[in-house]
Each structure stands twice: as C-alpha cells, then as structure tokens.
Amino acid sequence: MAKVKKKQEKKSFVDYVESDPIFQPITETIETNYMPYAVSVMVSRAIPEIDGFKPAHRKLLYTMYKMGLMHGHRTKSANIVGETMKLNPHGDMSIYETMVRLTKGNEALLHPFVDSKGSFGKQYSRDMAFAASRYTEAKLDQFCAEIFGGIDKDAVEMIDNYDSTTKEPRLLPTSFPNILVSPNLGIAVGLASSICSFNLAEVCDATIAILRSPKCDIEKIMDILKAPDFPGGANVIYDREQIKKVYETGKGPIKLRAKYVYNEDDNSIEILEIPYSTSIEAITKEITDMFKEGKLKEITDFRDEIDRNGFKFTIDLRKGTDPEQLMQKLFKFTPLEDNFPCNFNVIIGGAPKQLGVKEILVEWIKFRTQCLTREFRFDLDKKSKKLHLLLGLGKILLDIDKAVKIVRETEKDDEVVPNLMVGFNVDKEQAEYIADIKLRHLNREYIMNRLADIDELRQEIQSIKDLLADELKMKSFMIKQLSDIKKKYGKPRKTNIIDASEIKSFNNEIMIEDYTARLFFTKDGYLKKITQQSLRGNSEQKFKDGDKLILECDISNKDELIFFTDKCQLYFAKMSDFELSKASDLGVYVPKQLDFEPDEKVAHMEINPSFSENQRVIFVFENGKAVRVPMCQYETQGNRKKLKKAYSDVSKIAGIIYEKSDDYFMIINSEKKAILIRPSIIPIKTTRTSQGTTVFAMNLKKKQKVTKVLTDFEKKYPEAMSTYRKIKIPATGVLMEKGSKR
C-alpha cells in the first residue's frame, strides 16, 4: 500500500523566529544588553555627581592625593597616569586628557585642581596640543585641601576599585558646592550634561543664604548669584528672564560676547577674550570664509597673536571703517557671540536628575551634612576611645607601685593584662593600654600630664554631640566653613555682566553697499543684477533657451523683494542677496538661491512692496475665482525668509497682480475667451487663504480654466477696452478677435 505524503505546512516568519532559539526579541535585547550599558555610561562616566566630579576626575585626584602630591615637589605626569590606572583602566591617554583639563595651564577652570608645569594646551584652542606626559609635571593645587578635607575620617563611603584590589571614594567630600564652580560637559546615551561655572564667592554667599533661610526664593538667589562666571572671561549678556529660566529649570542658553579693544594708533581691533563655548579656530574659520566671500570688505587682515602673555586675535581695519559697527557684524555672523547651552543634569542617589540652581545647592547641603556627620562621628569615636583609655590610666595613678608589682610578679606574658584588669578594675582595652606604657613613663609627672587632657577631651566630645544633635549648629558650622573658603579663595568675577538692553542689535542695512543697477527677470525664474558700467560694455542679454524676459527696471542694491510661488508660499529677499551678473550670464536661479521646494516656481515677483492695509494683491485661480488680500496680511516680525500658506491651494494659481491702481486687467481662459475688469469689483478678504468662495471673476464651462492674467494687454490686444470690458462679476468671456496680436 502506497504511503500518502502529508503536505508540509508553510511556516510564517513569526513562527520561524519563535521556534528558533538563536533569535531574540529586540525588546529583550535592549532590556538585557543595551540598557545596562546606557545606565553605566550615565552613572559611571559622562554625568557628574553632586561633588562636581565625574568618576575619571575623582579617580585621578584621589590617586594624586594618595601619592602625597598635596605637598612637596611636582612629579612627572607619566607617573601620575601610571598610578591612576590602578583605579581607572580606560587607558593612559584618556587619563592624561582628564588631567590636562584640571590643570592651571589649560585654563579650563576658574579654580584649577592641578598645579602644572609644562605645555598643557589651552581650553580656547582645539588645535593647540598638550605635551606628552613624560615631559610635563604636576602636583595637587593647595585648593584641593577643600575637596579632600575629612576623607581620612570616613567622611565619604569607600568602595572597591574595578578589580577589588584597593579602595577608592565613591564621592569626594567637597567643602563648597564645586558642582556649580567647576564647568562640566558630558554626553551619555540619550542624555547630556552641560553645567556652566559660577563665581566661587557668589556660590558660597548663595549657599549661606539658603542655609540661613531655606525658603529663600529664586529672585534673592539671582541677586546674589548674579550670572555664570567663565574661566575665559568675555561678557555675559544679562537677560534677567532668561537667566531666571536657567536658574529655575536648569536648562537654557547663556549668551556670551567676546571682549575687545580698539587700537587707534594701528587702526585695529584686538579681541582679548572669547566665549567659553567656542575656540580660536572656529572664529578664524568663520572670519576667513566671510573674507573670501567678500562680506568683510571693512578689514584688510586678521591674525592669531596668542603668545605667552595670553589670548589675542587682531583685526586690521580699512581706513574709514567704524570699529563698533564692524564688531556688531562679527557678533552676528561669527562665534564671537555664542550661546553656552545649560543643561544641569546631575547624578543624585544613583540616578540622573535635571535640577535648577537652588535645587542643586539644596542637594549639596544634604550631601555636605552627611559628610560632616560621618566625619564628626569618626572624631567622636576616636576621642571617646582616647578618653576611655585615659580614665583607665587614671586608676593606676592611685598606686603606681601596685601596677609595677603586678607586672613584675606575673609569670606569663599573656596573664599581664588579665591581672591588671583584676587589680585595677579596668576593661581589657584599658589594661592593654596600661601594659604598653614604657617603664620610663611609669612616673607621676607623665601620668598627670596625660590625665590633664581628660577635661579638654570631655568638652570636645560634648561639643561634637551637641553639633550632631542640633541642626542649627551644624548649619552654623557649614556657614563658617563657606565664609572661610570665600575669604581664602574668592576671586573677582572674570566674566563681565552687560545688560541686554544696552546691546545694540546689528543693522544689516548699514553694511549693505548702496548702488544702482539694472534688473532683468525672466519667466523661468532667472534674475540678473547688472551695474550700469557693465551694461555700457555689453547690452545684449543672454537667456536660457525657451526662456524670455518679463521684467526690466532700474533698482537699488538695498531694495527688498518678495516672490509668490505656485506652491502657495511667499519668500522674502533683498537685492543685496544676489550677486552681480554680466550680460553674458544666465543670471541667478531664484528657486535655488532662496532654497525653494522641489519643482516650486516663481508665480510673481514684486520690488519694495508696501505692507499697508490699503495695499492689496489680487489672486486669480484656474477655476475662475479671484480674491483681493491686503498686503498687511504678509507683514512679518524679524528677519523672516519664508511664509507658508500665502494664498488658497484649493485651485491652481493662474495669475497674481500687485494692485498699484484701479486700472483694468485681462483674464483669458483656455477657450480663448477674455474679460477685462477693474480690481475694485473683486471682494476683499481679510485672510490669506481665502479663495473667494462666493465670487467667480469669470464664468467657465466644464473643462475650461483660466490660462492667463495680464496687466500689459493694450499693445497685444488693442480691441480689449471696447470689446472685453465688464462692470460686474462673474462675467462671461468674449471670444477673442482673430486679428489680435497674440
């Protein structure tokens, strides 16, 4: 009997994936593999914690501390890098780059943590390379005493390093809010942190204000902590509302401007400080590009003059140039004016949080309170143990001879301590302390001198207990520490504050060269701007095959232009935006120059339009409808380049007329029928996208459409005024005469 083959069922892709063990759902992969990596980058690498350090900074500084580099001579940077690898296994170059940023020589911090010798590059230059670690030397700056105070007194938790061979601090017990004093930038996975620096003295004062009055509002903090203070100096443009937003939310831009002086003797501008967020290379590139494009005709030369005396960038001016106006132009078009993007993301309790300035200071106060509590408890335990031992020592004062006799008559060494415990009624620790006293110290004078410390110890212990039990005393202690730090390390602001109301906005019109020229505009959207001098040499114009001239007129280089397109959009431009052409050129292609959308074409161009309510523009559509819209509907705020939905898109546009008078214009349809009407009989609509839903200008039969709208019809159609004129709409077209000059 033949076997019947069972038809094999075809598996779907989903069935195949579910049945095959090598496949893993993407959600499971992200959860088990990607998320731990992302969290690790956030917490263990890129985002700073409340002490103001990233792990790489902390590991390096702690290594230098354990190397004894708080005091004494500098050592080679290579030695520091090598030792740091016991805590940070990510490679010697990454460790050295971390150290470079913390040095005095790099100028990246208001208060550097590393006292350096040698070339460490500069924060304001990305190309100024630092020397190799074998050539440079470093040690900890004395300022580091404020970040390590109490670290040997259990002020912070100590954790295992990456291979569990040694210990390192989880955080550093900074005695001031370093998180707001040292600038910090970091990019994690899906998260970034960008914390600007503030003046140390102002930060201390703001923290003291919160300690004294926890309900201190943001306005008071802003009066104390005026604005960010950057290591590179420059000027911060003070907009109180914008600063308040940054202080409240921890996010927003801070606008910075370079500092400059005008050297009248050399007719040059010397830029002495630049925004922290840019570099000398970025500034040089922008100025070079503008110079090559002919946009900086006011200058003759520029150069980087950075030397051992510091930063300097010099710009030589052409005779007659106004230096202030030139700087306004450079501020607008180069990074000499730049934004620092604040994004105060901080790791709090193992998780990233975006905090405002007050929230950061409150979190730091909590952290600092924990550090001091641990430190005081360490001191309390140590002093209590010492007091306990001295109290035991005091008991042998009553009979020193007895103590000597007990020790002398005890036959076995391990019985000395038990015998002393019995003889003087002391515990084991006290007995061991007594037993360890040298024979020469078993005299009344030595013991009395030691016992004199008991009263002082009792007072210190009680003082620490009071401090730990009283929140106000703890706050007073922190206030005193912050006041001392401010007095010892406080510096004047490096970044000047300029009120935004004092800033002059750049007027582009001043910089535009004014001259007359001849404008040529074609049907296909090509524009030529030709000087009168150039026209004298060659007046025969070249155009693209199939293209034709539709407008020729005299213009000024400062004239404004608008372009309505067939995609219902309006583009704004200036005559100065277009380069000069020659008669032999095709001209500038407007859709490319103004970045039109694909296949978008010019439907109408107007020079120096008026945006008043009494000025109107007429739109005539292929379906026969027409509408008049006041030009005030197209007035925009600021330097806007494009306006969408300039008119209705229900039907294609057939023609656009900028209404200069109530003179007749002609509408022609696909059946060669025409009407002649005045603009005044077309209703005015107050919205741009109106299509004249109730008003047809021309009656059309099925499949008919408007093909032309003309204002210059008299030469072509001499019979128009007598034959096609209409006084009402909608109007039916009149068949055009065969003799018309079409």
Active site residues: 135
Alpha carbon of 498 to those of 238, 270, 311, 393: distances in Å? 6, 19, 21, 68
Largest CA distance in the chain: 149
Q: Where are the beta strands (DSSP E) in 310-445?
A: 313-317, 337-343, 345-348, 351-354
Closest alpha carbon to 571 in 552, 555, 587, 594: 594
- Residue 196 three-state SS: coil
Helix axes 357-396, 200-212, angle to 10 degrees: 80
Give the three-state DSSP class for 93: helix
Q: Where are the beta strands (DSSP E) in 62-175?
A: 75-76, 114-117, 137-140, 158-160, 167-169
Tell me, rounded to whole angstroms, the distance of Cα 463 from its chain centroid.
Answer: 47
Closest CA to 194 of 336, 359, 352: 352
- Nearest residue to 298 via CA among 264, 336, 266, 324: 324
Place of tokens 């004494």: 72
Q: Which residues pair with 668 in a beta bridge?
A: 674, 708
- Nearest Cα neighbor of 94 from 158, 45, 153 is 45
Q: Which residues contact residue 379 at a Cβ distance below 8 angstroms, ignoring those fewer than 6 apart?
A: 153, 464
Which residue has 């128009």 as its token pair?
Answer: 720
Question: Which secondary-structure segment (H or E) carries 202?
Answer: helix 200-212
- The distance of Cα 235 from the centroid of its chain, to the nearest Å, equals 16
String of DSSP letters for 597-618: PTT--EEEEEES---STT-EEE
The three-class DSSP label of residue 377 is helix
Distance separating alpha carbons of residues 286 and 280, to the nearest angstrom: 10
- Rama region for 672: left / alpha / beta (φ>0; ψ in -120 to 50; rest): left
Are 406 and 419 in contact, with CB atoms under 8 Å apart?
Answer: yes
Interatomic CA distance for residues 408 and 430, integer angstroms: 18
Cis link prior to 55 (omega < 30° from 0)? no
Tokens of 107: 């100028």
